[in-house]
Chain A
Amino acid sequence: MQATENSQETDVRTDEELVRIVVGGDVECFEVLIIRYQSRVFGMARKYFRNESDAEDVVQGIFTKTFQKLSSYKGTAPFEHWFMRLSLNACYDALRRKRNRPDQTISDMLFDDESWQDRLSNIPDASDRVGLEEARELVYTVLGQISDRARIVLTLQELEGRSIREITEITGWSESLVKVQAFRARKEMRASVERFLMKEEKL
């Protein structure tokens, strides 16, 4: 089993070749694509979904949808772009569906022993799993207060460092819409941070 996985990880065939083979009928080759992209997709999904089972459901849905839509991939753009765009849209759809279920609120996130400034000033070490989880929780909670579109744009632009043009390519939204959402995202994030600080001051 391990040997098979390793051979799939080191598969030299390009994504486009693999897509052609899968569309041609050899479904088993899709596993190579899954192994190639699953960690990135999990990383992306966990930025939007805190709950592990939610993230898993979304990733599973992304790969199933990719498989079903594989024949519509024309090969004009790199597969990676096409796939990441599909993944992001799936995350956006899932976020919208999930909106009705409230997650964590700011007041749940305030810790008695540490102030906001203290928490932001030190990024936990990679070995400190609990610290990292808490830090991710904090980021997730602050970003959770922002509207879905704005959150996606903020994540892509500010956290992943992508340009407006790249974001338009990934999301399929117009440049002006991305700019508006980017502006709104900063404003909403500022308000969210302000709410955090105000809650902390009250305590």
Chain B
Amino acid sequence: MKSNETEQQFLKLAKTIQMDERVPDGFQAQVMARVREQHALEIRSSDEQFLRFARNLPANEHVPYAFEKRIMARLRDLLTPDPLTLWSRMLWRAVGPCLGVMILVVLFSSEGLVDTSAGQAAGELDFETADFETVMLASFDDLENTW
């Protein structure tokens, strides 16, 4: 009975004592560092596990049926020239020589013009114009004579 009373008293006393809720300095940071470390370890192990998994997975080297025939047919098509392509290729090749000829013709004709304009006096030009007219109308003169 007496012991029971002592027990009750002790419990009463114990209840009156407030809980010591003090937190040591840097405790939170310490715990968080541990958590982060643990998380990193987990990730790293998952990461390693994933790599091991991927490494051991056999590669799928299955080749579709007659794949090489398909490629060869495509290459043969590439090698067979298309008439339109050939024609356009020829046209493109002709561009250079054509341009060359055109430039030469322009040069020659401009040189001829320069020569005639430099060597001719105004009177000579009038004379030649008259000659040209006579020659051009000669056939009409003949016609008049016939009728």
Interface residues of A (CB under 8 A from B): 27-28, 30-31, 34-35, 38-40, 42-44, 46-47, 56, 59-60, 63-64, 67-68, 116-117, 120-121, 123, 126, 132, 135-136, 138-139, 142-143, 158-159, 161, 186, 189-190, 193-194, 197
In the complex, A27→B73 CA distance in Å?
Answer: 11
In the complex, A6→B53 CA distance in Å?
Answer: 35
A132 touches which of B54, B58, B78 (Cβ 8 Å): B58
A28 CB contacts on chain B under 8 angstroms: 72
- Contact (Cβ within 8 A) A40 B61: yes
B63 touches which of A39, A116, A123, A126 (Cβ 8 Å): A39
A112 to chain B, nearest CB (A): 19
- Contact (Cβ within 8 A) B55 A158: yes
Q: Is the interface of A mostly helix, strand, loop or mixed?
A: helix
- Contact (Cβ within 8 A) A35 B68: yes
B50 touches which of A47, A120, A126, A132 (Cβ 8 Å): A120
Supposing A31-B72, A60-B70, A193-B43 touch, asked if A43 and B59 sit within 8 A by C-beta, the answer is yes
B72 touches which of A34, A39, A135, A143 (Cβ 8 Å): A34
A57 to chain B, nearest CB (A): 12
Supposing A42-B62, A43-B60, A158-B55 touch, asked if A64 and B47 sit within 8 A by C-beta, the answer is no
A128 to chain B, nearest CB (A): 11
In the complex, A5→B146 CA distance in Å?
Answer: 93
Supposing A34-B68, A64-B71, A116-B46 touch, asked if A123 and B56 sit within 8 A by C-beta, the answer is yes
- Contact (Cβ within 8 A) A38 B53: no
- Contact (Cβ within 8 A) A193 B47: yes
Query: Does B36 touch A at the CB level, under 8 Å?
Result: no
Supposing A30-B72, A31-B72, A34-B71 touch, asked if A189 and B63 sit within 8 A by C-beta, the answer is no
